[in-house]
Amino acid sequence: MPNNQVKESPQAGFINKITSPAVLKIFLAVTVVAAGVFVILNWTGLGGFGAAAKVNGKSISTTDFNKNVDAQQKYQKEFQKTDFSGAEGEKKLKSLKEEVLNKLIEDEVARQEADKQGIKVIQEDVNKDYENMAKANGESKFEETLSNYYGFSKEDFKKYNITPKLYRQKLQEKLTDSDEMNKEAKTKADDVLKQLKNGAKFEDMTKRYSQDAGSSQNGGDLGMVGRGQVVQELEQKAFALNEGETSDVIKTSNGYNIIKVEEKKDDKVHLRLILIKTQSFTDWLSAKVKSANVQKYVKI
């Protein structure tokens, strides 16, 4: 069939029209403008659809960011008499914004980690904590201080200060009590105990492994200890052991402990200690922030 008898399909006709020189120029111009708008939106913080940042896909709103920046700036102006004018003031404001954004990111990471651990902060907890603070400082005076120095209402303070604080506190408590979250320290303590059982000298192991600043270089020697002078978990074990005996690994709020009773006299015991500290909450949270997928949109 001759070529001039082949009918052009509707799709082909449409493609030919949009790829014509005139239409193509318009298309490219619109694309460039759209790309420019996209860059501007991301630069101003609107590229995340109103998000100042995103943490593992969860948004931190520009509203929350700006409100916290305003509060901190007001506090520093009113209470610390910080001058934000001029070039030096701009540097201070930039630093303040960075601190606020990083704090909000940390708070969001802590909240997400709390969710993973099944930790909840209910409104009753928040209200109770606020009431305790208000009573301690005088309720009307406390609200006045929040308004004058931060520009915060009572509900603002609950949202931006108390709720994140409670998430961190509960998460820290869980971290301290969890062997799973302190695998490295627990494994090290178990290994030290194994070496002791295999004949290693307690004093040598103390110098090599103990993280108790007061006794690690002194063979772990705590001297004669009476009741009430060490934490309850260590006290109970110390007075239950015989002279020359070494304990198993004992978990306390400081970490994983191994003690040895050198001597018992009257109501005192001569103790040596090996302490393997649990990971600090600050270090643990910092590591979680570093490993999180964080995208910052707001202009600092």
Tokens, residue 282: 């600050």
Q: Indicate whether this model's pTM tops 0.75.
A: no
How many CB atoms within 10 Å of residue 113? 21
Give the span between the Cα atoms of 210 and 220, in whole angstroms: 8
Give the fold, CATH level 3, of 182-278.
Chitinase A; domain 3 (3.10.50)
Instruction: Tell me how far apart the alpha carbons of residues 38 and 32 are, in angstroms, rounded to a whole number.
Output: 10
Question: Can you list the positions of beta strands (E) in the chain?
Answer: 51-55, 58-61, 221-226, 250-252, 255-265, 268-277, 294-296
pLDDT tens, the chain, 300 aa long: 444 444 444 444 433 444 445 544 443 444 334 334 434 444 444 444 589 999 999 999 999 999 999 999 999 999 899 999 999 999 999 999 999 999 999 999 999 999 999 999 999 999 999 999 999 998 889 999 999 999 999 999 999 999 999 999 999 988 877 887 888 999 999 999 999 999 999 999 999 999 999 999 999 999 999 999 999 999 999 999 999 999 999 999 889 999 999 999 989 999 999 999 988 889 899 999 999 999 999 988
Q: What is the pLDDT of residue 300?
A: 85
CA distance 74 to 4: 77
Query: What residues contact residue 219 under an 8 Å CB cut-off, 6+ apart?
Result: 202, 203, 206, 207, 272
pLDDT tens digits for range 94-138: 999 999 999 999 999 999 999 999 999 999 999 999 999 999 998
Please identify which residue in the block is written with the tokens 């590591």. 287
Domain boundary assignment for the chain: 12-44, 62-177, 182-278
- How far is Cα 247 from Cα 238, in angstroms, rounded to an integer? 8
Q: Given this model, what pLDDT does residue 212 score?
A: 95
Contacts of residue 68, defined as CB under 8 A and 6 or more positions apart, other chains included, come to 100, 103, 104, 160
Q: What is the mean pLDDT of the chain?
A: 86
